[in-house]
Amino acid sequence: MQEKKNPLLCDPQIGICEVPSSNTALAQADAVSARQKPIKIVYFTDPICSSCWGIEPQLRKLKLEYGGDVEIEYRMGGLLPDWSYNSGGISKPSDVASHWDEVSLYYNMPIDGDIWLEDPLDSSYPPSIAFKAAQMQDKHKAVAFLRVLRELLFLQKKNITRWEYVVQAAEKTGLDTAQLRIAIEGKAKELFQEDLQLARRMGVRGFPTLFLSDSTGATEMLYGFKPYEQFEEKLRKIKPAITAMDYHHDWKQLFEIYPTLTLREFAEVAELPLATAQQKLDELHGQGELSLISCKNGKLWLRE
């Protein structure tokens, strides 16, 4: 029997959390054409994808600089259906713990792999379906909901397949939990399957995968963890005249837009060296301006 690729063995060198092999020919014609804004990005991700957590700083800066021209549509990819995998030294949840600690250091984003020792997830499908249910209520709140789920998982070691943590994320982002429950048990499952089918048609084989397109159908793909400059390069290939918007780099305004920021995120959006960003965050925390959540591999600063 052919060995299946383990979806949780994310390769930090190429920045990919890869699903079992599929047709890799890109069906670019299936890319959703841009509506309203000149450029549309179809972003295939998964709530437990560590490489997707790794590109949060780039995406947050992209939204600040190009949000007026770019619409991002979030699609779920189904990273971990179950544990019927055995490859790369990973055959059970506990094998993921040290791997996540390694990628945390590589991406310089806080991830505590001990979740896989203390309360491991059986699948990424339940939080993916919960995200589709959140999208049914409000697509902007759904993105915030996904962010909170990831913070609960990566920093606080919470098993986000459990309803109590779905409720916690929903309440924090202003979603109706009763409606969410109904959608999770019904329509959201269908929407999740539609995402999986679209991913297969477009040849998605790992996460993060982003398809950038304009109204003419011109499409570029960005696959895996890439520096911010490559995000901009892809945008300019689609729309050469695109211009980055000016935005305020003051810490108060940045935290007004993004209530929680990691060190690397703050350095990215504030355009500061990591050491300078660290000094500033420590200073603000010492002054009582920011609180923080710590895990063994980093911190998350928040202004509440």
3-state secondary structure labels for all residues of 139-180: HHHHHHHHHHHHHHHHCCCCCCCCHHHHHHHHHHCCCCHHHH
Name residues whose C-beta falls within 8 Å of residue 186's C-beta, 6 or more positions apart in sequence.
Answer: none
Name the amino acid, one letter, at 281: L
**What span, in angstroms and rounded, lies between the C-alpha atoms of 281 and 289?**
9
Is the distance from CB of 39 to CB of 212 less than 8 angstroms? yes
199-243 per-position pLDDT tens digit: 999 999 999 999 999 999 999 999 999 999 999 999 999 999 999
Helices 139-154, 125-137: inter-axial angle, 10-degree rounding: 150
**What span, in angstroms and rounded, lies between the C-alpha atoms of 38 and 242?**
10
pTM: 0.90
Is the distance from CB of 100 to CB of 113 less than 8 angstroms? yes
**Nearest CA among 111, 94, 93 for reference residue 102:** 111
Which run of H or of E encompasses 292? strand 291-295
* Other residues' Cβ atoms within 10 Å of the Cβ of residue 248: 12
Name the amino acid, one letter, at 10: C
Q: CA distances (Å), 241 to each of 59, 168, 212, 226, in order?
A: 20, 42, 15, 22
Binned average pLDDT, 10 residues per bin, the chain of 304 residues: 58 70 37 65 98 98 98 97 74 90 96 97 97 98 98 98 98 98 98 98 96 95 97 97 96 98 98 98 98 97 91
Cα torsion through 291, 245, 34, 268, rounded to 10: -40
Name the amino acid, one letter, at 225: F
State the pLDDT at residue 91: 75
State the pLDDT at residue 6: 64
For tokens 């699903």, what's the residue? 19
Q: Which residues of 124-158 are buried (b: 16+ CB within 10 A; e: fewer)?
A: bbbbbbbbbbbbbbeeebbbbbbbbbbbbbbbebb
For 215, the 3-state DSSP assignment is coil
Strand blocks (E) in 3-107: 17-18, 39-45, 70-76
Q: CA distances (Å), 294 to each of 28, 111, 120, 298, 301, in order?
A: 41, 10, 20, 6, 9
